[in-house]
Amino acid sequence: EKGKKMGTCSSRSSVSEADVDFEGLAVARQRLSSLALEERDMDMTQPLAKYFISSSHNTYLQGDQVQSESTPLAVARALRLGVRVVELDVWDSPTGVVVTHGGTFTSKCAFAAFVKAIRDHAFVASEYPVIVTLENHCKLKGQQAMAATLRRVFKDKLFVPSEEETSLTMTPANLKGKILIRDKIRGGKKRPNPRDDDQEEEEDDDEEDEEHEDARRKRLG
């Protein structure tokens, strides 16, 4: 895409001493201590929708939303501070699926690097589930590549609901150690769904019926 840069995308997903903001470290420790106390005293057996969840927006950006760096270190830091919902904007590129803020000068970084960062840091601050929001701009091929990466990296941490699963059974207690995927498809081609074909056939039949009815009225008129 015009106006995009690759920049220097670090494949590191671990946080080293050089990455630590020591000025904010005391605040982070206090936050984690408070989070642990809150979870200990709270009923975590209710459906997820009953809770306020610590969330982030454009988690992958190191700075502003126009020209900063997309890096897995930003995601790792958010998770280690106790954030439970992280967001990634994913796009197709000649080198594969990348994370970047579309239509800006922010750098691109490989989707897989962010998935590894989430795996490595998701449960440092809390054992309760992490929700990954994917703002998905990829076409079908890119979506398939993303799905393969999520399965390969997350393995048994990836939450795959069973047929018996309902919103009532999806509680923080039941989802300890699990990573949930929330996919928002934006402009890309959705996966084929057999029900879509049935719906299209029904719509075609309705259109034909309307055309026949219009023709009959013209004849009678």
pLDDT digits 0-9 by tens, 128-143: 999 999 999 999 999 9
Kindly indicate the confidence band of residue 42, based on its pLDDT and cuts at 50, 70 and 90: confident
Question: In terms of Cα–Cα distance, which of 80, 82, 84, 79 is closest to 37?
Answer: 82
Asked about 57 being catalytic, the answer comes back as yes
Kindly indicate the confidence band of residue 197, based on its pLDDT and cuts at 50, 70 and 90: very low
> What's the CA gap between 5 and 69, in Å, rounded?
10
Q: 174 phi and psi, to 5 degrees?
A: -75, -20
User: Token pair for residue 140?
Assistant: 């079908």
> How confident is the model at residue 24, as a pLDDT?
54
Kindly indicate the confidence band of residue 200, based on its pLDDT and cuts at 50, 70 and 90: very low
* Burial (Cβ within 10 Å: 0-12, 13-18, ≥19) of residue 90: buried
What integer is the mean pLDDT of 48-68? 93
Catalytic member of 57, 121, 137, 212: 57
> What's the CA gap between 72 and 158, in Å, rounded?
19
**Residue 219 reports pLDDT greater than 80:** no
Kindly indicate the confidence band of residue 201, based on its pLDDT and cuts at 50, 70 and 90: very low
> How confident is the model at residue 92, as a pLDDT?
97
The proportion of the chain whose per-residue pLDDT surpasses 90, expressed as a percent, equals 57
Residues in the chain: 221
> What's the CA gap between 145 and 115, in Å, rounded?
13
> How confident is the model at residue 186, as a pLDDT?
78
**Residue 79 reports pLDDT greater than 80:** yes
Rounded to the nearest integer, the mean pLDDT of the chain is 80
Catalytic member of 101, 121, 137, 212: 101
> What's the CA gap between 218 and 1, in Å, rounded?
52
> What's the CA gap between 182 and 90, in Å, rounded?
13
> What's the CA gap between 141 and 20, in Å, rounded?
37
- Across 29-38, 59-68, 175-184, least confident range: 29-38
The residue that leads in pLDDT, 131 or 187, is 131
Q: What is the largest CA-CA distance in the chain?
A: 84
Q: What is the DSSP letter of 78?
A: H
> How confident is the model at residue 198, as a pLDDT?
46
Kindly indicate the confidence band of residue 40, based on its pLDDT and cuts at 50, 70 and 90: low
Question: 131-141: b or e for each residue (b if 16 or more CB lie within 10 Å)?
Answer: bbbbbbbbeee
> What's the CA gap between 62 and 83, in Å, rounded?
16
Kindly indicate the confidence band of residue 184, based on its pLDDT and cuts at 50, 70 and 90: confident
User: Token pair for residue 152?
Assistant: 């390969």
Asked about 101 being catalytic, the answer comes back as yes
Do the Cβ atoms of 177 and 123 come closer than 8 Å? yes
